[in-house]
């Protein structure tokens, strides 16, 4: 494998580069307070209120929680429905912060730090989030992110961004990029 090249993309206030990672999924994050979180990534468990009709879950209170600093004038709320086995990866932003809230199904979420000057450059995190683990996740600029839908059912992600969609702010890297070397295969066979 050749040495990874810098990611020349737009006008970020930081340098980006593909890291050289060994095969695997990186650190499995099982607690929102994990010391193994990539720098700037934040997670919080979201309460569910179940009853005999189903459940209720708050996704976002403007001005509160993980996305409290998002400016309402430029914040966008979107959703994506993906079918079982779908992999959507990797992409990253230069300026935009993402706040992800899986609301249906189960996701294997993969993060990788592309920021050369970050203390966690090259680090990978894996989260299993969704109906069985309702967490909210903040993904900062320069951190590559993607997911795979696990289980038999489709899954829905609601995501809030601190900026309106701008294709000039988004970089994409193929899901099986050899430098990232993320193992999308089932881990607990």
Which residue out of 91, 95, 175, 179 is catalytically annotated?
Answer: 91
The dihedral formed by the CA atoms of 101, 106, 112 and 113, expressed in degrees to the nearest 10: 20
Helix (H) / strand (E) containing 148: strand 143-150
Which residue out of 93, 97, 147, 159 is catalytically annotated?
Answer: 159
> Is-catalytic flag, 83?
no
> Is-catalytic flag, 175?
no
* Cis before 90? omega within 30: yes
CB-CB contact of 53 with 148 (8 Å): no
d(CA 139, CA 99): 6
Q: Would you name the residues annotated as active-site residues?
A: 91, 159
């Amino acid at each position: 494998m050749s040495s990874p090249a810098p990611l020349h993309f737009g006008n970020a206030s930081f340098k980006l580069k593909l890291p050289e990672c060994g095969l695997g999924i990186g650190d499995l994050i099982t607690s929102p307070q994990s010391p193994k979180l990539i720098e700037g990534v934040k997670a919080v468990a979201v309460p569910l209120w179940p009853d005999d009709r189903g459940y209720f879950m708050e996704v976002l209170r403007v001005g509160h929680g993980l996305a409290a600093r998002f400016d309402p004038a430029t914040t966008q709320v979107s959703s994506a429905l993906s079918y079982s086995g779908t992999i959507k990866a990797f992409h990253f932003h230069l300026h935009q912060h993402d706040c992800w809230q899986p609301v249906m199904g189960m996701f294997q979420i993969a993060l990788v730090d592309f920021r050369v000057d970050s203390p966690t450059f090259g680090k990978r995190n894996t989260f299993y989030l969704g109906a069985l683990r309702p967490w909210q996740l903040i993904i900062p600029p320069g951190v590559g992110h993607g997911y795979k839908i696990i289980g038999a059912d489709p899954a829905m992600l609601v995501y809030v961004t601190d900026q309106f969609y701008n294709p000039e702010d988004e970089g994409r890297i193929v899901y099986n990029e050899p430098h990232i070397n993320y193992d999308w295969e089932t881990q607990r066979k």
